[in-house]
Structure 1
Amino acid sequence: MTGVVPAATPAAENGPEHVSEPTAYDAILLASFGGPEGQDDVIPFLRNVTRGRGIPDERLEEVAHHYRAFGGVSPINDQNRELKAALEAELERRGIDLPVIWGNRNWDPYLADALRDAAGAGHRKLIAIATSAYSSYSSCRQYREDFAMALDATGLDGTLQIDKVRQFFDHPGFVQPFIDGVRDGLDEVQRAVPGIDLATEVRLLFATHSIPSTDAAKSGPDFRGFGEGGAYAAQHLAVAEVVAAESGRGVPWELVYQSRSGPPSQPWLEPDINDRIEELAKDGVRAVVIVPIGFVSDHMEVKWDLDTEAVETAGEHGMIAVRVPTPGTHAAYVSGLVDLVLERRDGIPAAERPAVTSLGPWYDVCRPGCCENVRLGFKPAVAGLAP
């Protein structure tokens, strides 16, 4: 029987929600966004990010100043080097012989080069980990489209098979670092302001990247009926609720957004974190603990939009701001990513897979029409059912 999922392994090619047939993978494909590594890289990198949108360099330079403030170097590449090394160490510790091959969507090392390296080493079955935990166009489907484009560009379609681990927003390995971080963050607030009333003078702000409202509404499969914010908002809210319950000490919490772009006429998810901090200051809140729950590492949106802009906004209003660490190379996170690979290698049934919210475990093979970009339409994508 001919499979219906492009470039999938035999266990996934007919599109089960959860794959329960073991698969002998040859290598792990670590896929990330990429970032510039010097001032001369910044504009070419931003051209890659915005390709096809016709944005002139003058407008790109308005965004470039975030990178220029850090010497033109995005922290994301070094973070991925560290994550790759940590994954390799964890695999070696467990006696698992799976090489890790790293490729980016927007900067060197590119995905196409990673696929050529994989094929050159004799690998044929890859299991991909994308450095993004949630469901949306940019955090899941676009990676799947880029895998398809890289297979086409390299002529390796029909030679390489690429599966992808499930979105891991509610895997305990991803969530535990935030639980630890909130606990430590509240301790820091109480040391800085002895006697502060946690219930009235402190807020937990769970921060994630804003996306266009139309993309949010299309995130996740339609049949789940997540409503206006789609699976993207629902997943973040569910995880934030777990983290707050585990370590929030009764502190009120809310989900806020950051890093919006695009024309002002286009609705994006709100509220913006800076706007919300201003409002909270007026309500007598004295401290905020910022939890970057939408991010796996301290890349530019964290270092600039949170550590620079949001912290400055809090300071301007006389508030203390503590930013919780991202998972990075936290032992639980690294171990959890390996566990996600082993789910697929060993064909672990869905009922035996860990998930800390009622929304998961998420799908191994994306459902039809999942995470559509309504402006661009559907493009060929691997690791999911068409369209």
Structure 2
Amino acid sequence: MAAKAKCDAVLMIGFGGPTRADEVRPFLDNVLRGRPVPLERYEVVVHHYDLLGGRSPYNDLTLRQAAALRAELEKRCAQIPVTVGMRNWEPYVADSMRVLADSGARRVLGFIMAAHRCEASFERYQATVNDALATLGEAAPEVVYPEPWHDHPLFTAAVASRAREAYSRLEFPERSRARLIFTAHSIPLAMAQVGPYVEQLTQSARIVAADLGVDTWQFAYQSRSGSPRDAWLEPDIKDALSNLDAKTAVVVPIGFLCDHVEVLYDLDIEAAQVARDAGIRMERAPTVGDHPLFIEMMASIVAAHAR
């Protein structure tokens, strides 16, 4: 096995989210970056944030993951600083990278907070990092990235543990009849066809289902955006629930690492209403968040890269 590149620091790289109501519109403007989105669609998304308190928990949850990672690394006596940088809101990647460079970091482990890779979930984050490095010039550290970890046994065990939390809310006879549905963010079909996204999601789901001892499961997608004229990954979770041949569903958002707005609204409000209308009991598993097994996985990857 090739030796891991040894790093001076870790930068956890996330999407970011607004932390107050007055940040929602500037945040959405950042995300859209001038893309033509109908005003009515824009206002619908603003309303989603309003329903959830006018903010996103994304930053808080990612910072909690970072704090848990630092604590786990201290237990392992791995002396390496961990910081957070976001693509679309403060703390921005460029600002966090500048702080690392000023502190003397020469090689940084860029830990992109997405388990399954496509252009939207991986390459765009790398491009953001490259833009930040370009502004630093000669002071810029080198950035390396971990190998794919969608099938890491600690990650899949953490997902399975969260799924068991949902199953535990069901009475025993109902558990055996519940349909297991995994979800992830939908992406354009053209993007999916040139990357490993669907394959990696399927690998993760297959491992988790086996861990749970479930033979029959299905995959659905959520949080679609973009032009309705373009083909995106299907089926949508709402359609999957509407057509379900069972009266109970356990929904596991395996493609998300924390319970942010796209999970809280798209599943807990929108999909849950569809399930109720169809006479289906839906139990949604939490995302991995700061589950100890997921943090242990991150720490093991970081420790392998630490000087």
TM-score exceeds 0.5: yes
1:28 Cα shift?
A: 0.4
Alpha-carbon separation, structure 2, partners of 1:321 and 1:184: 13
Amino acid at match of 2:113: T
Correspondence 1:262 to 2:207: no
Query: What 5-or-longer segments of structure 1 have no aligned partner?
Result: 1-17, 220-230, 347-387
Q: What does residue range 86-235 of structure 1 map to in structure 2 within 5 Å?
A: 86-152=68-134, 154-156=135-137, 159-189=140-170, 191=171, 195-196=173-174, 198=176, 201-219=177-195, 231-235=196-200
Change (3 A) 1:215 1:145: same
Q: Which residue of 1 is the match for residue 48 of structure 2? A: 66
Q: TM (normalized to structure 1)?
A: 0.76
CA distance in 1, matches of 2:253, 2:145: 24
Does the Cα contact within 8 Å between 1:83 and 1:334 map onto a contact in 2? yes
Q: In the comparison of the two structures, how many residue pairs are matched? A: 307
Pick from 179, 195, 202 the counterpart of residue 237 of structure 1. 202
Q: Which has the larger radius of gyration?
A: 1
Q: CA RMSD in A?
A: 1.8
Moved more, 45-54 or 96-105: 45-54
Kept in 2, the 8 Å contact 1:173–1:337? The answer is: no
Aligned in 2, Cα 1:177/1:150: closer, same or farther, shift over 3 Å?
same
Aligned counterpart, 1:53: 35
CA distance in 2, matches of 1:158, 1:326: 37
**Distance (Å, rounded) in 2 between the aligned partners of 1:330 and 1:183:** 13
Q: 1:43·1:57 contact (CA, 8 Å) conserved in 2?
A: no
Q: Is the 8 A contact 1:183 1:248 kept in 2?
A: no
Structure (1/2) with the larger helix percentage: 2
Q: Which residue of 2 aligns with 1:253?
A: 217
Structure 2 residues not aligned, in runs of 5+:
none
- Measure how far apart 1:185 and its partner are: 2.5
Identity of aligned residues (%): 39
SS at match of 2:108: strand
Q: Distance in 2 between matches of 1:341 and 1:292?
A: 25
Q: Note the alpha carbon deviations across 1:315-367, whole angstroms, 9 max, x for none.
A: 12221111111111111100101111233348xxxxxxxxxxxxxxxxxxxxx
Deviation at 1:157, TM superposition (A): 5.4
Q: CA separation of 1:91/1:218 partners in 2, compared to 1, >3 Å: closer, same or farther?
A: same
Q: Which amino acid in structure 2 is aligned with residue 163 of structure 1?
A: V
Deviation at 1:171, TM superposition (A): 1.0
Q: 1:125/1:203 Cα in 2 relative to 1: closer, same or farther (>3 Å)?
A: same
